[in-house]
Chain A
């Protein structure tokens, strides 16, 4: 559908703008600075909006947008000529990127760490959050590694709970810093049972997990962190990315979760998205799902017996035995998803996750049309 990033033609003034999109040129003066006026045609200029964006090129202050289109209720940030949709109204796939720093360097990372100006990022996000629709059902928080923000993450979570009391929060984290009990307690207190933390687990063998995460002691710290999260009433989801080395021990991982992390609220087996580090290492990491679906089926079976809700993300239905369809989800964000030509006549296309549109995602040799 639409990407998150876009460009706009230069403005007269400078400064970063965080505001909500409206198509209405006649909002009350006093509230206009919260809004960006967005119009297909660049017409008259009602004063007071924080920016004027249009699909067509026109004279200042109108700025031409390219790369995406905007809708009423979206919240965007514009810095110079770069724009980003921070929030899509009505989408269940909104994610706040809160830092680009990380304390791991996983070989399959889709968003390799970079230094980032977190202070500015956070200030913009705090402002943006006050503009999100109150009926937002779920919101993701991701990085980098969000826990590196420490106290600032606690403040952000409290802010989210304050402004979006009905919204479930989902934090992606390697949970290593939650080994500090006090930090886990503070996060628990700030989020009142509305937070789930999604934690990647690469192996049931510490040394293998650490190698994949590119960091020593990662396994030990992650497991201790997960136990602390549970201790403080925070729901934990375990995420297992299906790379070659991880798949090699997939049943062992399921067994480890069953025995040691039986409180996990959800386990997700995730087909690889080949961007970032994963793209650089794709030949070493990628394994055709057709070569492991039988072991995946048995791993899912182990978790079913343990009563742990389980899902499969990013694997197309035609690769999976029908017994696994009930756990296969349409997991690819609405703004990324694509289908192959062969999918055109597929009877199950409506129920299938499709493919990542942002990468040259490898298609399994077993991709085929389903006729019923």
Chain B
């Protein structure tokens, strides 16, 4: 991204009404262009101070280029780190070209500089991860993490190209159940450890605090809770940008310098999208017991069914969320609820 484009992006995001903005730097590898990260960070800080808004930052990085001086900058500008750790060495190395030893060393360095609670890791599950969920969790515990996000694989980019790497929803749900049970068992062993997806859903179910999670918004969180800036374009979500990279720019909301924030938000196609993703009125969602806690996934449904609403009987999103809701509500009726509510 050019500096001039970045300035336009900062201007665009500050035109919105949000009082608290979270800026996530993605790539590629953002640390390879850290001067741009610094430029955007400082531009945002200046703008936020002038307008009385709050701004938070996250860098998504494989950490291979992380140094103490980058760490010192992140510390003083309150930039959190999000990295990838797919599991024990053999699994992580199979996914990410033998980088396990490097990433765990860099995680410790990042913790020292940025703060242990400001360094998080995400794991990407593939078919190689099947049957390994306990190993993956053990790796996170052994590396001193206090939580893990057991998330499904996004079927984009390399992930779809590498056929045979994907995991079915049923496989994922089994994996999730096994992982959640195992994490609860660890908690009974004095190891405080959370599963983040469950924590988000429980916060949604049991409290009035907004989950702030894009997948759990009605209407669509894509476009309202998140915008993705790539090149000179603004997309509804990360998935929209990946879809565009695969040749379909249907979810491009605006072009920087061409439309203002207000124009983009009022564009008929976007308003239409919001109207059709209010789960309160979406067929099959409207009669679902879990609707108040769930959300819309227009981009996912479009990819799957070429329709932003989608038929829920064929929806992976629906199946996945239903499966997890049933598990959680069952568990809330057991003694495990004490541990689960402690995650909120």
Contacts and interface: CB of A to CB of B under 8 A. Distances in A.
A166 to B, nearest CB: 9
Interface string A19-32: 00011101111110
Contacts of A134: 117, 146, 192
A30 B141 contact: yes
Interface in B92-142: 111-117, 134-135, 138-139, 141-142
A73 B190 CA distance: 8
A207 interface: no
A34 B141 CA distance: 10
Interface stretch (A154-162, A271-279, A334-342): A154-162
Contacts of A29: 138
The B interface, classified by DSSP as helix, strand, loop or mixed, is: helix
Nearest to B137: A28
**Size category of the binding interface on chain B:** 20 to 34
B22 to A, nearest CB: 19
A162 B144 CA distance: 13
B189 A22 contact: yes
A161 B115 contact: yes
Contacts of B190: 22-24, 72-73
B191 interface: yes
A88 to B, nearest CB: 15
B117 A165 contact: yes
Contact of A31 (B76, B113, B141): B141
A130 interface: yes
Given A162-B114, A163-B111, A165-B117, A24 B139 contact: no
B273 interface: no
Interface in B135-155: 135, 138-139, 141-142, 144, 146
B30 interface: no
Contacts of B114: 162
B292 interface: no
A158 B114 CA distance: 9
A211 B49 CA distance: 52
A34 B142 contact: yes
B10 interface: no
Interface in A138-193: 155, 158-159, 161-163, 165, 189
A200 B315 CA distance: 68
B138 A162 contact: no
A214 B192 CA distance: 48
Contacts of A24: 189-190
Interface of A: 22-24, 26-31, 34, 72-73, 130, 134, 155, 158-159, 161-163, 165, 189
9 contacts: A27-B191, A29-B138, A30-B135, A30-B142, A34-B142, A134-B117, A134-B192, A155-B112, A165-B117
Interface of B: 76, 88, 111-117, 134-135, 138-139, 141-142, 144, 146, 186, 189-192
Given A24-B189, A158-B113, 13 more contacts: A24-B190, A29-B138, A30-B141, A30-B142, A31-B142, A31-B191, A34-B142, A73-B190, A130-B116, A130-B144, A134-B192, A162-B114, A165-B115
